[in-house]
Amino acid sequence: MNPPTIECSIGDPCGVSPEVLVRSLAEGPVGPVRVHAHADLLLDAAGCLDPALAEAFAERQGHTWIAARPAPRPEGAVPIGGYHPAWGAYALRSLEAATRAALESSRALVTGPLSKHSFIDGRVGAVGHTEFLARASGIPEDDVLMLFDGNGLRIATLTRHIPLAAVPGQVHHDAVRRAARLVAGYLGKPDPRIALACLDPHCGEWGGLADTDLSLREALATADPRVLGPLAADTLFLPANLSRFDAILCWYHDQAMIPVKLMAFDTAVNVTLGLPILRTSPAHGPGYDIAGKGIADHGSMQRALQLAVGESL
């Protein structure tokens, strides 16, 4: 096998991650990909989905993909359909191994979805992939950005998993400028058209309701002319408005994720900006409720792999 171009963590084997991964790798080619998991976990997942898929996937072993075992592994069959501490720990070991390999080789990293229970049980803390990867890279967490790319949407979140009440204190013109710089680098455009959603209804009614958005608008007018706004969030995501911009910055997690999940659920990819490597991931969780049923859509994982090799910007 040629040297891999992508390092890939398996995510939680109890969820949909193995099945969306094997479907994506079987359809390929995106590789070569090194999956940090025991080969039988992937082959078993393929066999449960479709014998023809399993055959096609097995034929690609050693060519399109290769397993790299993050020993040890739990004994017995994988308990599909819910979080299991032993397999959550396995998922975390897979992520740690894939991250280490990607950073050492400057290769792209694709991460499978896992539950935050894995980080908590592993004493990493109540964090997600983004914070974990920033720490592993030795980069301040404030210097990385979550961006979701899918179906013509590019939406970044200025904050991540924090209480809504804490959001206004975290968003200021320096944070917006830093985000705009990272987004411009991702898009490969020196002067992209970037919209900033507002925080308060109707952007605070020009200060009549609240002055948070008005103050930020005044600060950005001279600080970063690439950013237009804040603009009313209740109409910003209409198709006519989306066509005007290359990307949108949102204040908080759900402000970004609601339009992403509504408009690009099967194609959206989570991209971490600001790392020394390219990291992508499907924009969905472990999907315990549909795991093992053969109904999980692998479009998001497939695009995550494609973006990692530069096929679909």
State pLDDT tens for residues 162-191.
888 998 888 888 889 899 999 999 999 888
pLDDT of residue 223: 65
Mean pLDDT value across residues 7-23: 94
pLDDT of residue 152: 85
Question: 12-16, 125-129, 201-205, 283-287: which range is least confident on average?
Answer: 125-129
pLDDT of residue 312: 43
Quote the radius of gyration of the chain (alpha carbons, Å): 20
Per DSSP (E only), the strands in the chain are 6-9, 33-36, 65-67, 108-111, 145-150, 153-157, 194-197, 227-231, 247-250, 269-273, 279-282
pLDDT of residue 125: 65
Beta bridge partners of 8: 35, 110
Residue 2 has pLDDT above 70, yes or no: no
Angstrom distances, CA of residue 191 to CA of 157, 194, 239, 244, 272: 19, 9, 22, 14, 20
Burial of residue 194 (CB within 10 Å: 0-12, 13-18, 19+) is buried
**Taken in order 199, 203, 206, 208, is the CA torsion positive or negative?**
negative
pLDDT tens profile 137-152? 999 999 999 999 998 8
**Under DSSP, is residue 65 helix (H, G, I), strand (E, B) or coil?**
strand
> Which residue did the predictor score with more confidence, 125 or 214?
214
> Which residue did the predictor score with more confidence, 311 or 111?
111
pLDDT of residue 126: 60
Residue 158 has pLDDT above 80, yes or no: yes
Residue 4 DSSP code: P
pLDDT tens profile 57-92? 888 888 888 999 998 999 989 999 999 999 999 999
pLDDT of residue 3: 64
- What residues does CATH 3.40.718.10 cover in the chain? 1-141+276-313, 145-273
Residue 73 DSSP code: -
Strands 269-273 and 279-282: antiparallel
Burial of residue 68 (CB within 10 Å: 0-12, 13-18, 19+) is middle
> Which residue did the predictor score with more confidence, 40 or 208?
40
Q: State percent of the chain over pLDDT 70.
A: 95
Q: What share of the chain is helix, strand, coil (3-state, %, to 5)?
A: 45, 15, 40
Q: pLDDT band for position 282 (50/70/90)?
A: very high
pLDDT of residue 313: 39
pLDDT of residue 1: 55
| Structure token pair of residue 268 | 């959206």
pLDDT tens profile 82-132? 999 999 999 999 999 999 999 999 999 999 999 888 878 777 666 789 999
CATH 3.30.70.360, applies to 1-141+276-313? no
The overall average pLDDT reported for the chain is 89
Q: Would you give the end-to-end CA distance of the chain in angstroms? A: 26
Give which of 33, 28, 25 is closest to 3, Cα–Cα. Answer: 33
**Taken in order 228, 141, 199, 197, is the CA torsion positive or negative?**
positive
Strands 108-111 and 6-9: parallel
Report how far residue 147's alpha carbon sits from residue 152's, in angstroms, rounded to the nearest whole number.
13
| Structure token pair of residue 132 | 């974990």
Report how far residue 181's alpha carbon sits from residue 179's, in angstroms, rounded to the nearest whole number.
5
Q: How many CA atoms lie within 13 A of 229 on its CB side?
A: 30
Residues 234, 198, 237, CA angle at the centre, nearest 5°?
Answer: 35
For the domain 145-273, what is the CATH code?
3.40.718.10
Token pair 């690439």 in the structure block, residue: 226
pLDDT of residue 161: 86
Q: pLDDT band for position 206 (50/70/90)?
A: confident
Burial of residue 262 (CB within 10 Å: 0-12, 13-18, 19+) is exposed
